[in-house]
Structure 1
Amino acid sequence: MAQLHIYLCCGGGLSSGFLAQKARAAAKKSKIDVTVEAKSESEVTQYLQKMDILCIGPHYEFRLKAFQELAEPYQIPVIVIPEEIYSMLDGKALLELVLQELKIEKD
């Protein structure tokens, strides 16, 4: 499996930064080659070409369609991070959700 590029988005990138850190640790433990970065909403468009998937915070669910429209030309899926994953900073669950969404089997 080629390296995966996962981007998380919340308002300022702070809370998603903690979740990204946990997801990186889970990926390392599972020996999955992944880059997980947290960006603010204003930065998302700068990184669309590098993403394999965009995960937005649950508080941005109302903006899902707008994010999907931004990502559509790049054929990037956009998902809302479930509240239970986001609030618990469950990096392992986030990683599993992303792999499931992208239909990637863990080795």
Structure 2
Amino acid sequence: MRKIYLFCDAGMSTSLLVKKMQDVAEKHNLSVKIEAFPFVKAHAIITEERPDCILLGPQVRFLLNEMQEKYKDLGMPIEVINPVDYGVMNGENVLKFAIKLIKENEKNK
């Protein structure tokens, strides 16, 4: 089972996106665990859980470079969710993006 974790400022609006992503995953019988967390919990969750992909909400996109540098040795993709997809809560596009990142990461290992 792949783990896709979303981090945002407080975890509230991202939880709505997670629900939409899970609906798409269930519809296509994908074995994924998708969760949202407030950014303040990121370090503990990332180091303990070792997700396959980390997506940042647009409101914390300024942390992207710091996160990529801090966790580069863990070998997981870390990217920002497309602001348009986030704004309209397009769970399908965000899930496709996460899966693409996971596959590219596995291919490059």
Q: TM-score, normalised by structure 2?
A: 0.87
The runs of 5 or more residues in structure 2 that have no matched partner are 105-109
Please report how far the alpha carbon of residue 77 of structure 1 lies from its aligned counterpart in structure 2 after TM superposition: 1.0
Please report how far the alpha carbon of residue 69 of structure 1 lies from its aligned counterpart in structure 2 after TM superposition: 2.2
Q: Deviations over 1:14-66 (max 9, x none)?
A: 01111011111110001100100000011111111421111001122211011
Name whichever of 65-74 and 26-35 sits farther off.
Answer: 65-74
Whether the 8 Å contact between 1:11 and 1:41 is mirrored in structure 2 is yes
Task: State the match for 1:38 in structure 2.
Answer: 36
Counterparts of 1:64 and 1:21, CA distance in 2: 23
The runs of 5 or more residues in structure 1 that have no matched partner are none
Please report how far the alpha carbon of residue 12 of structure 1 lies from its aligned counterpart in structure 2 after TM superposition: 0.5
In the alignment, residue 35 of structure 1 is paired with which amino acid?
Answer: K
Q: Which 4+ residue blocks in structure 1 deviate beyond 2 angstroms?
A: none
Task: State the match for 2:10 in structure 1.
Answer: 12
Please report how far the alpha carbon of residue 84 of structure 1 lies from its aligned counterpart in structure 2 after TM superposition: 1.1
Q: TM-score, normalised by structure 1?
A: 0.89
Whether the 8 Å contact between 1:8 and 1:16 is mirrored in structure 2 is yes
* Matching of residues 51-66 of structure 1 within 5 Å: 51-66=51-66
Indicate whether 1:48 and 2:46 are aligned. Answer: yes
